[in-house]
Amino acid sequence: MKLTVLGCSGGIGSGRHTTCFKVDDDVLIDAGSGITTLDFEALVKIDHVFITHAHLDHVLGLPLLLDSVGDMRPDPVTVHALPEVLDVLAKHLFNWNLWPDFREIPSKEAPWLRFAPLALGEAYTLNGRTFTPLPVNHVVPACGLQVATAAGSLVFSGDTTHSDAFIQALNAIPDLRHLIIETSFENELVEVAKASKHHWPDSLAAELQSLTVHPEVWITHLKPGNESAIMNELRAAAPGWGVEALMQGQVIEVGGRG
């Protein structure tokens, strides 16, 4: 399984794009502005999108994807998410006011979009890759996502702060090869991080100490302009983990280092 990082920033500017990962050629995890880096031919191949939560930086490319390639595809794009997340997308995005409801275009019988609810812990398998939502702790309904293959597993945290349930879920994955986890703010902005339920270096370091598995750790959702400060503080707070900042364009292959 190959994961390509289309966007991994906590904001935009100077080539930065928000969260969007491509799994092989047919699946997206989140649909932030990173989706705009794909060419038209690649967009047409996207069959499934797994959304961790409904915040704009993780979904803003979804309506544009459908508008761009919906008529070129034989089947609808399937969006998988927690029921609460799909409810937000239906009420506040695909609501005919902010954007047309592509679940009814060109008709309800043959739409360009369909929703597929997934509960926490419920696995969905596509061509040898199993996607499972994991519990996290954010200001809105949200999940992390495990992608399991015969070669091992990768987990993306989505947006989260400390979560005992997430740590327990990670420790229950003995073949965890890669952990992509957010750290949004440096330590001096701890109150902002707490209010918005994001990690800061000291909180993530404490999280890593609770792990009994030892995956490669990639840091995502770094706020623009603060990337170096966050990573420096994190390396000091979590020595021995070899944490690295995730980079746009990076490719991670489960079973090896990208």
The pLDDT tens digits of the residues spanning 139-190 come to 999 999 999 999 999 999 999 999 999 999 999 999 999 999 999 999 999 9
Residue 150 lies in a domain: yes
Q: What is the CATH number of the domain that holds 86?
A: 3.60.15.10
DSSP characters for 97-131?
SSS--TTSSS-SSS-SEEEEE--TT--EEETTEEE
Residue 172 lies in a domain: yes
- Answering whether pTM is above 0.85, one says yes
Residue 258 lies in a domain: no
- pLDDT tens for the 258 residues of the chain, in order: 999 999 999 999 989 999 999 999 999 999 999 999 999 999 999 999 999 999 999 999 999 999 999 999 999 999 999 999 999 999 999 999 999 999 999 999 999 999 999 999 999 999 999 999 999 999 999 999 999 999 999 999 999 999 999 999 999 999 999 999 999 999 999 999 999 999 999 999 999 999 999 999 999 999 999 999 999 999 999 999 999 999 999 999 996 444
Task: Provide the number of structural domains found in the chain.
Answer: 1
Residue 15 lies in a domain: yes
d(CA 7, CA 89): 21
Residue 139 φ then ψ, to 5°: -80, -10
d(CA 200, CA 161): 8
Residue 14 lies in a domain: yes
Those residues with Cβ within 8 angstroms of residue 116's Cβ, 6 or more apart along the chain or in another chain: 78, 79, 80, 124
For residues 93, 95, 101 and 107, what is the CA-based torsion angle, rounded to 10 degrees?
170
Residue 53 lies in a domain: yes
DSSP-based helix, strand, coil % in the chain, nearest 5: 30, 25, 45
Please give the DSSP secondary-structure letter assigned to residue 66: H
pLDDT value at residue 255 = 60
- Structural domain of residue 65, as residue ranges? 2-251
Residue 174 lies in a domain: yes
Residue 34 lies in a domain: yes
